[in-house]
Amino acid sequence: MTFPTTVPTDLEIARNAALKPLDEIAERMGLGRHLIEGYGEHVAKIKLSAIDELSDRPKAKYVVVSAVTPTPLGEGKTTTTVGLGQALNQIGKRATIALRQPSMGPTFGIKGGAAGGGYSQVVPMDVLNLHLTGDFHAVTAAHNMLAAVLDNHLYQGNASGLDLHSITWRRVLDVNDRALRNIVIGLGSRTDGVPRQSGFDITAASEVMAIFALSRSLQEMRERFGRIVVGYTRSGDPVTAEQIGGAGAMAAIMRDALKPNLLQTLENTPVLVHAGPFGNIAHGNSSVVADLIGIRGGDFLVTEAGFGADMGAERFFNIKCRASGLVPDAAVVVTTVRALKAMSGRHTIVPGAPLPPALLEENPDEVHEGGANLRKQIDNIRLHGVPLVVAINAFPGDHPSEHAAIAEIAASEGARSAVCTHFADGGKGARELAEAVVEAADEPAEFRFLYPDEASLREKIEAVATKVYGAEGVDYDPAAARQLDTYERNGFGTLPVCIAKTHLSLSSDPALKGAPTGWRLPVREVRASVGAGFIYPICGDMRTMPGLSADPAAHHIDIDADGNVLNLS
Amino acid sequence: MTFPTTVPTDLEIARNAALKPLDEIAERMGLGRHLIEGYGEHVAKIKLSAIDELSDRPKAKYVVVSAVTPTPLGEGKTTTTVGLGQALNQIGKRATIALRQPSMGPTFGIKGGAAGGGYSQVVPMDVLNLHLTGDFHAVTAAHNMLAAVLDNHLYQGNASGLDLHSITWRRVLDVNDRALRNIVIGLGSRTDGVPRQSGFDITAASEVMAIFALSRSLQEMRERFGRIVVGYTRSGDPVTAEQIGGAGAMAAIMRDALKPNLLQTLENTPVLVHAGPFGNIAHGNSSVVADLIGIRGGDFLVTEAGFGADMGAERFFNIKCRASGLVPDAAVVVTTVRALKAMSGRHTIVPGAPLPPALLEENPDEVHEGGANLRKQIDNIRLHGVPLVVAINAFPGDHPSEHAAIAEIAASEGARSAVCTHFADGGKGARELAEAVVEAADEPAEFRFLYPDEASLREKIEAVATKVYGAEGVDYDPAAARQLDTYERNGFGTLPVCIAKTHLSLSSDPALKGAPTGWRLPVREVRASVGAGFIYPICGDMRTMPGLSADPAAHHIDIDADGNVLNLS
C-alpha cells in the first residue's frame, strides 16, 4: 500500500475536481432531466415524483455504512462511504451514495465540514458545507415558526391551557452558540409576550429535522408535523402543533426541502445529500425520501449511519427502515487502527490536540485489546440479520501488523475485511472493500427488527440496552419511569425508541472503552418526538447546542478576492 | 376604465401564468446563459461577473417608484412597479424591474407576501414569498454567526474589553416573534456563556441585510462586515466585527447571497429581486448590485423604494445612489384615492378590518384635502432634481371624480399623472403611465444629494427634517446629543443619515396627516450602522421585531396533496 503524506488539502483537491453536469450524474441513476431542478451550478434537487416514476425499476442492493465506536475525531465513515461508492462504480456496479447534510454549526466550530476527505469527497465541498440548497434553513424557519405560533398562542390567551412549565418546544439555530442554551424570553412590556424560560438547540436537533428525514411523502410530513407535541396541559394532556395551528405553515416552509439534493463525488458518482438529524437525541441518518429514490438508481445504494453500530446503525435498522419499509442487504463496519487502540483504554484523544505519540507506535496487541469493541459492533449488525464487511480505513502512520490484527479479529468473527486507501487513492483504494461488499450483499439476508412495535417502551429500551450496548439491565430515575407510564397512557407506546447516550462508548459512560460489561444503563429522563415517531430516553448529559472554542474555525474562514472560500475543511 | 371585481386571487392568477425559461428572460436583459445559475425551475441567480462584462453597454434610464404617505394597507407600490415594467415593454421599451425580497415574517403574519398583485405580479409568488434562493437565510446565519462569535469572545475572556451594557449587536430571525424582543441569554451553568440582556430583531432589520444591499462587490461587502460595530468598551471605543474575528466567516456565508435573483412577471418582464432592508431603521431599498446589472439590461430599470417619498425615496437618493454611483432619471409617485382620503385625517384604517364605509363614498373634496401630502411628496422628489410622474393606482370603488381630483393636484404642481389599472389589466393598464415616464426620463435631470458628505450629522438630520419632512427644527434628547458627539469623534460624521420614524406620516407622529407643519422632530436616540454606512437617529418607537396577531396567516397557510401552497397572499 502506498500512502503518500503529500495528499493536498481537501479544499485544493475539491477545487481541482472535474465536475460533470448534473444531468449526466442524474442519468447515471436513470433519472431523466425532467426530474431534476438545478440549484446553482453543481447541485440539483430531485422531484418527489421520481419515487413513483421509478417504482417499477429493480431495487438496488442496500448497504449501510456503520463503524466501531469512534474517537472524538471520527473514523472516516463519510470518506469510506464515498470511497466505497466510487469503488463500486470502478468494478462495474452502478452505485449511488446517500449522506446526511453537514451542519453549519460544527463547520464553523472545531469539527469542520463533512464532505468526506482526500480523494473521496463530495463536491463542491464549500456549497455542501455551507447552505447547500437551504434545507437546514427551512428546518430552522419551520421550527421557529411553530415556536412563534406557540408563544403567540400563550400571548393571545392560551386557549389550549398549556402549562408554561411543561412546554417542550424550544427554538433552533444552525450555529454553535452556548449563550442560547438557557434563556428567558417574553421580557419587556405586556405586549412583548409571556415571560418564561426556554432555549435554543442546534438545528440538527430539531424534531422538524427528524420528521423530514423520516417522511416518505409531503403528505406524511404534513401529518407528522401535526402530531408534534409542543407541551402539556396542567392535567398532563399533550398539546400538538395541529391544535395550535402551526403545522400547515411548517409544511409550506418545508415543501421544497423534502426534495433530495443531488451532488457528485470527485469521481462523478451520484451522491444524495439530504437531512441531518442529530445522532444522539435523534436517529442520525439521512432521509428516507433520498433512499426511496436511490434504491431505484442502480445496482447499489450506499447509505451512511451516524457514529458506531450501537448508535446510527441500530437506529437505521429499527427507526429508519421501519419508516421506509426498505430492507438492508449488507453493512460495512468502518474501523481504524487508532479507534481500536483508543478502545484499549490506554490513550486519551482530544480534538484539536495532536494524537498521543504512544498511540502512533506499532502495537498490534493494543489493537487486539481494543478489538472487543469491533467484535461487539459486528455482533450488533448480526443481531439484525445483516451480512457485513469490516472496512479497515488506513491512515498514514498505520503499521501493516496493525491492519493484520484487525483482519484477524474480523476473520475470527467470520467476517470479511478489507484494507482501504480511498482517502489517498480514491475509489481505487476501496476496490477490495467493494468486492467484499458485493459478495456480502449476495448472501441471503434475514433482516429483522430488534423488537416488535407492540413491545412496551421498557421492553424496547431493555432490548437495545442489553442486546446492543451490552448492559446488564436498565435503571430508571423515578421521573423517567413516570414519563414512560405517561407515554404509554398517551398512546405513544408503539413507537420505537431512540436512546440518547454518548457515542464514545458502547455504554453510557464515555470513559468505558472496549465492550464494557457489568454495567447498567441509567435512564434519567425520557422525552418524546411524537411527530418524528420515537421516544428518546436520555442517559447522561446530552448537549443539544454546542459552543465555540477559544479559536474556532469561524475566526479563520474567509473569502479571497475571487470569492473562493478559505480555510474550510 | 373597466375594473372587474372578479379578478381571481393572486395565487390563482400566478398558478395559471405562462412562465418562460429564465435563459430567455435573461436574454431579454442581454445576459448570456453563462451568467445565469438556475435555482429551482423558475428562479436564477446572476453571476457578479455580469457587472464587469456588461459595463460597456449603454445605461438604461433609471426610474425609482415611490409613493405618497401610505395607509397601513400599502398603496400598491410593488404592483405599480411591476405594472410599469410590463407596460414599458408593451410600448416597445426593454425594461427590467428591481424589487426587494419579501420577508417571511409578515408573510406569515398579517401583511401577506409582496409579489405585486392581480395581473401585475412576480412569479412564482410562492417561491418569492417563502425562501426564494435563501438570501434572507444567509443574512440570518451570518448575523447570528457574528453574535455567536461575540458571545464566545465574552466567554473566552473578553480580550477587547467590551462593556456588556454597551453591546449593540443582537440576533435576528425571519419570523414575527414578539417573545424574542427582550430576552436574557447565557443562563445555566458557567459553561453556558455570560448572562446578559439582549434580544432578536427580524432579519430585515439586520445590518447584514443593509450591507449586502449597499455593497458593489464581494470585496466591498467583506470590508463593510469588518467595519460593523458590535459594541463599545468601557472607555467608549467601538469594537468591530473584524476585531473579534467574525467578518470573514460572515463573508463566506453571504458569498452566494450577493448574486441577484432573476424572476419574471406574469408578462415575462425580467425582475431582479434582491435584499430587503427595513424601511425605517435601514434604507428600505433593493440591492445596489442588482441595479448595477439591471442598469445595463435595456432601456429602462424600474426600481422600488419603500414607503412614501419622505422615506424610501429620500434614502434611495441620499444613501443608495451615494453607494452605487448611479443617477436616477425619473421618479414615480404612486397615489391612491384611499391614501389621500386617509391623509385628510377623517378616517382610521386598521389592517385586517374592512375599510370605513365613509371612505368609500364619492368625495373628491376629501381627496383635495389629503392632497397636501401628495404635493409635499412631489416636492420631496424635486428637492433632488428628479423629474416625476404621479401614478394614480386605481381601485375598485374609486370614482372618476376622485381620480380627476388627483390629476388636478398633480397638474397644479406641474407634474404629469396617469390613471393605472395594471392590477386588473396587467401592463396594458399602465401604458399611459409608461408613456409619461418615458417623457419624464427624457427631461434633463439635475440629480443632487440633499446634503454633502462633509456636513455634520446634525446638519444632515436637520436637512432631512426641515426640507423633506417639513419640520420646523430638530430637538435632541440629551442621550441623542451625546451619541452624535461620540459618532463625530469616532469619525462616523461623514456618513449619511437614515432617520427612523413612522412611515404613516410625513412627521414623526403617525396621527398627523396631510403635510403637517409647525412641529419639531424629536430625536430620542441615535444609533450607527457603520458597516452599512449610515447613522440612524430614532424618532418615536421603532419596532424591529413584529408580533403575530390573534389569527395570523400562519394559522391558514398549508399545502394541498400536490404540494401547492394554500392561502398565501
Q: Is A186 annotated as a binding residue?
A: no
Whether residue A182 and residue B188 make contact (CB cut-off 8 A), yes or no, is yes
Give me the residue from B131, B181, B550 closest to A156, CB to CB: B550
- Burial of residue A392 (number of CB atoms within 10 Å: 0-12, 13-18, 19+): buried
Considering only CB atoms, which chain A residues are within 8 Å of B191? 178, 547
- Burial of residue A362 (number of CB atoms within 10 Å: 0-12, 13-18, 19+): middle
Phi-psi region of A452 (alpha: psi -120 to 50; beta: other; left: phi over 0): beta
Q: How far apart are CA A229 and CA A241, in angstroms?
A: 6
Residue A391 Cα, gap to closest chain B Cα (Å): 35
Whether residue A252 and residue B152 make contact (CB cut-off 8 A), yes or no, is no
Give me the residue from B145, B178, B555 closest to A245, CB to CB: B555
C-alpha dist (Å) from residue B130 to B134, B260, B356, B553: 9, 16, 32, 13
Query: What average pLDDT does this structure show over A332-353?
Result: 94
Question: CA angle, corner A149, sides to B9 and B286, nearest 5?
Answer: 55
- For A195-200, the CB contacts below 8 A with 24+ separation are A196/A154, A196/A164, A196/A167, A197/B187, A198/A167, A198/A170, A198/A171, A199/A170, A199/A171, A199/A545, A200/A170, A200/A171, A200/A172, A200/A173, A200/A545
Whether residue B248 and residue A37 make contact (CB cut-off 8 A), yes or no, is no
Helix (H) or strand (E) holding A272: strand A270-273
In chain A, the residue whose alpha carbon lies closest to the alpha carbon of B45 is A40
Residue with cell 465506536: A69
The conformation of residue A546, written as its DSSP 8-state character, comes to -
Whether residue A178 and residue B184 make contact (CB cut-off 8 A), yes or no, is no
CATH match for B135-253 among 3.30.9.10, 3.30.1510.10, 3.40.50.1370, 3.40.50.720: 3.30.1510.10
Residue A158 Cα, gap to closest chain B Cα (Å): 11
Considering only CB atoms, which chain B residues are within 8 Å of A22? none
Considering only CB atoms, which chain A residues are within 8 Å of B563? 48, 218, 255
In chain B, the residue whose alpha carbon lies closest to the alpha carbon of A241 is B555
Considering only CB atoms, which chain A residues are within 8 Å of B148? 175-177, 179, 548, 554
Q: How far apart are CA A63 and CA A295, in angstroms?
A: 10
In chain B, the residue whose alpha carbon lies closest to the alpha carbon of A256 is B563
Q: Is A10-134+257-442 a CATH 3.40.50.300 domain?
A: yes
Q: Are B270 and B299 in contact (CB under 8 A)?
A: no
Q: How far apart are CA B389 and CA B437, in angstroms?
A: 6
- Burial of residue A189 (number of CB atoms within 10 Å: 0-12, 13-18, 19+): exposed
Over residues A184-241, the pLDDT tens digits come to 999 999 999 999 999 999 999 999 999 999 999 999 999 999 999 999 999 999 999 9
Q: How far apart are CA B515 and CA B538, in angstroms?
A: 20
Give me the residue from A175, A255, A566 closest to B145, CB to CB: A175
Residue with cell 391544535: A243
Over residues B421-443, the pLDDT tens digits come to 999 999 999 999 999 999 999 99
Pairing mode of beta strands B473-476, B520-523: parallel
In chain B, the residue whose alpha carbon lies closest to the alpha carbon of A560 is B219
Collapsing DSSP to helix, strand or coil, A231 comes out as strand
- Burial of residue A220 (number of CB atoms within 10 Å: 0-12, 13-18, 19+): middle
Q: What is the pLDDT of residue B6?
A: 63
Give me the residue from B144, B186, B565 closest to A175, CB to CB: B144
pLDDT-above-90 percentage for chain A: 91
- Look up the pTM and report it: 0.97
Could you read off the pLDDT tens digit of each residue along chain B, which spans 569 residues? 334 456 788 778 877 888 999 999 999 999 999 999 999 999 999 999 999 999 999 999 999 999 999 999 999 999 999 999 999 999 999 999 999 999 999 999 976 667 888 999 999 999 999 999 999 999 999 999 999 999 999 999 999 999 999 999 999 999 999 999 999 999 999 999 999 999 999 999 999 999 999 999 999 999 999 999 999 999 999 999 999 999 999 999 999 999 999 999 999 999 999 999 999 899 999 999 999 999 999 999 999 998 999 999 999 999 999 999 999 999 999 999 999 999 999 999 988 789 999 999 999 999 999 999 999 999 999 999 999 999 999 999 999 999 999 999 999 999 999 999 999 999 999 999 999 999 999 998 799 999 999 999 999 999 999 999 999 999 999 999 999 999 999 999 999 999 999 999 999 999 999 999 999 999 999 999 999 999 999 998 888 999 999 999 999 999 998 999 999 87
Residue A348 Cα, gap to closest chain B Cα (Å): 22
Give me the residue from A40, A193, A248 closest to B558, CB to CB: A248
Q: How far apart are CA B316 and CA B331, in angstroms?
A: 11
B457-538 folds as: Formyltetrahydrofolate synthetase; domain 3 (3.10.410)
Whether residue B151 and residue A177 make contact (CB cut-off 8 A), yes or no, is yes
Q: Is A71 annotated as a binding residue?
A: yes
Whether residue B256 and residue A131 make contact (CB cut-off 8 A), yes or no, is yes
For residue A131, give the amino acid letter.
H
Q: Are A98 and A324 in contact (CB under 8 A)?
A: no
Q: How far apart are CA A543 and CA A536, in angstroms?
A: 14
Calculate the CA A294 to chain-centre distance.
17
Residue A568 Cα, gap to closest chain B Cα (Å): 9
Considering only CB atoms, which chain A residues are within 8 Å of B144? 173, 175, 177
Give me the residue from B38, B48, B222 closest to A559, CB to CB: B222
From the CB of residue B268, how many other CB atoms can be counted at a distance below 10 Å? Answer: 17
Over residues A306-339, the pLDDT tens digits come to 899 999 999 999 999 999 999 999 999 999 999 9
Q: What is the pLDDT of residue A5?
A: 53
Considering only CB atoms, which chain B residues are within 8 Å of A552? 149, 152
Phi and psi at residue B238, to the nearest 5°: -70, 145
Give me the residue from A148, A177, A252 closest to B558, CB to CB: A252
HSE-CB for B531 with a 13 A CA cutoff: 30
Considering only CB atoms, which chain B residues are within 8 Å of A148? 175-177, 179, 548, 554
Q: Is A137-251 a CATH 3.40.640.10 domain?
A: no
Pairing mode of beta strands A183-185, A171-173: unpaired
Q: At what angle do helices A207-214 and A247-254 cross, to 10 degrees?
A: 60
Reply yes or no on whether the pLDDT at A452 is more than 60.
yes
Q: What is the pLDDT of residue B51?
A: 98
- Banded pLDDT at A365 (limits 50, 70, 90): very high
Reply yes or no on whether the pLDDT at A3 is more than 70.
no
In chain A, the residue whose alpha carbon lies closest to the alpha carbon of B220 is A561
In chain B, the residue whose alpha carbon lies closest to the alpha carbon of A176 is B148
Q: For B14-134+257-442, which CATH superfamily applies?
A: P-loop containing nucleotide triphosphate hydrolases (3.40.50.300)
Q: Which residues contact A435 (CB under 8 A, 6 or more apart)?
A: A91, A418
Over residues A81-113, the pLDDT tens digits come to 999 999 999 999 999 999 999 999 999 997 666
- Banded pLDDT at A2 (limits 50, 70, 90): very low
Q: How far apart are CA A60 and CA B498, in angstroms?
A: 61
Q: What is the mean pLDDT of chain B?
A: 95
Considering only CB atoms, which chain A residues are within 8 Å of B246? 554-555
Neighbour-count burial for A464-489, b at 16+ CB within 10 Å, e otherwise: bbeebbbbeebebeeebeebbeebee
Query: What average pLDDT does this structure show over A137-157?
Result: 98
Q: How far apart are CA A468 and CA A471, in angstroms?
A: 8
Whether residue A193 and residue B175 make contact (CB cut-off 8 A), yes or no, is no
Collapsing DSSP to helix, strand or coil, B59 comes out as coil
Q: Which residues contact B545 (CB under 8 A, 6 or more apart)?
A: B176, B177, B178, B180, B181, B199, B200, B201, B202, B205
Whether residue B565 and residue A252 make contact (CB cut-off 8 A), yes or no, is yes
Q: Which residues contact B275 (CB under 8 A, 6 or more apart)?
A: B100, B101, B135, B209, B212, B213, B286, B287, B290
Q: Residue ranges per domain, chain B?
A: 14-134+257-442, 135-253, 457-538
Residue B31 Cα, gap to closest chain A Cα (Å): 16
Question: CA angle, corner A135, sides to B565 and A316, nearest 5?
Answer: 110
Grid coordinates representing A75 are 473514523
In chain B, the residue whose alpha carbon lies closest to the alpha carbon of A200 is B185
